[in-house]
Amino acid sequence: MSEVYAARRARLRERCHAGGSAAALVTRPANVRYLAGASPRGAALLLARHEDILLCQSPPGDQPYEGRLDEALRVQVLSQPSGGDPAVAAADLAQSQGADSLAVEEHHLTVARHRALASVAPRLRLRDLGNAVEQLRVVKDEEEISLLRIGAEIADQALGELLESILVGRTERHLALELERRLVDHGADGPAFPTSVATGPNAGRRGHRPTDRRVEEGDFLSVCLGASYRGYRCELGRTFVIGTSPADWQIQLYDLVFAAQRAGREALVPGVACRDVDRAARQVLEAAGFGEHLTPLTGHGVGLENDEDPQLSPSAMGKLDACVPVTIEPGVHIPGRGGVRIDDTLVVRPEADGGPELLTITTKELLAL
């Protein structure tokens, strides 16, 4: 793996040089992990003129789900208890090595930390690295996709087991906790994001935080979960009906959201504009009169973070390349009544390779549980 990380850093270095900076400082944890293999808490990665150095307050751990640090990387552990901020120490080091400018992540560094950097290294011109690392992260390699695939299998298993148990009378919070335990049972590092379980009038709300409401007969039940596997975070969302048979309005609403989600999935071809994928799903719901209640996104990228670039929204710029994993997750929530969300993680693939690769394979038939 060491060559993979070195190659990623080389690509970033090229971009920095093109932008006029000899050195770069990466502090956002997911970006550090992408370039170094692991991101010990508070660590800062310095791409200096001659060498890359990871500065941190405590030595990197050795658990697989914390990531394995690239062994080729020089590590400098700041001495305790004084310690201090690794980013500040990195700026100091860059200046002492003769760098005249340093590109930093202004969307991650706070004003106070940025000032501390400027103060310790007054001869260093601080520039903005911008989202350079996030942009590198958008297209995944097959190793990254295989980690997402395993995470998706774990999420499918956890959800499948839950559906075999009795649900009526249990609270949203307990169901969410049980799903998270099952994720870990099946080998996840942990949940990819806080598991959402929404029942009855809560069903279909994106990012709903589980409450103490209990599952009742006749409820919609919508679940959104994901496994983090070696740092990679997939996402799976389904909606079910509790009881012997769904009501007519439930079937109609479900069919509508299913059609929207399918339209989004089918729009996933290399080169498609992000906003066109969004529109494919969104217009099905708008045509049925639900335009007002829609969430701003109908999907987003996944990887080392759950909610990363690209965004699938009406105002999104850019196109989707092959090997970009995204969620397709339209939903409708009717205040007071509940609603439906259906959410898959897929990888954009050329038609010659079989078209979009579905990672989350739990059925999307409307199950009555």
Please report, as ranges, the residues that interact with its own copies according to CB under 8 A. Answer: 61, 63, 66, 80-83, 104, 106-112, 114-115, 128, 173-174, 177, 180-181, 184, 209, 211, 294-296, 313-315
Question: Burial, 233: exposed, middle or buried (Cβ in 10 Å; 0-12, 13-18, 19+)?
Answer: buried
Shortest gap between Cβ of 65 and its own copies (angstroms)? Answer: 8
Shortest gap between Cβ of 339 and its own copies (angstroms)? Answer: 16
Contact in structure between 45 and 25 (CB atoms under 8 Å): yes
H-helix or E-strand spanning residue 333? strand 331-334
Contact in structure between 237 and 342 (CB atoms under 8 Å): yes
Amino acid identity at 104: V
Shortest gap between Cβ of 362 and its own copies (angstroms)? Answer: 22
Q: Which is nearer to its own copies, 163 or 177 (CB)?
A: 177
Q: Which is nearer to its own copies, 176 or 256 (CB)?
A: 176
Q: Which is nearer to its own copies, 173 or 322 (CB)?
A: 173
Q: Which is nearer to its own copies, 137 or 140 (CB)?
A: 137
Contact in structure between 291 and 260 (CB atoms under 8 Å): no
Q: Where are the beta strands (DSSP E) in 178-282?
A: 190-191, 196-199, 220-225, 227-229, 232-233, 236-241
Shortest gap between Cβ of 216 and its own copies (angstroms)? Answer: 18
Shortest gap between Cβ of 357 and its own copies (angstroms)? Answer: 28
At 238, list the tokens.
């389904």
| Spatial separation of the C-alpha atoms in residues 223 and 79, rounded to whole Å | 45
Q: Which is nearer to its own copies, 175 or 347 (CB)?
A: 175
Q: Which is nearer to its own copies, 58 or 363 (CB)?
A: 58
Measured in residues, the chain has a length of 369
Shortest gap between Cβ of 80 and its own copies (angstroms)? Answer: 5
Classify the C-alpha dihedral 300-229-354-237 as positive or negative. negative
| Spatial separation of the C-alpha atoms in residues 194 and 180, rounded to whole Å | 9
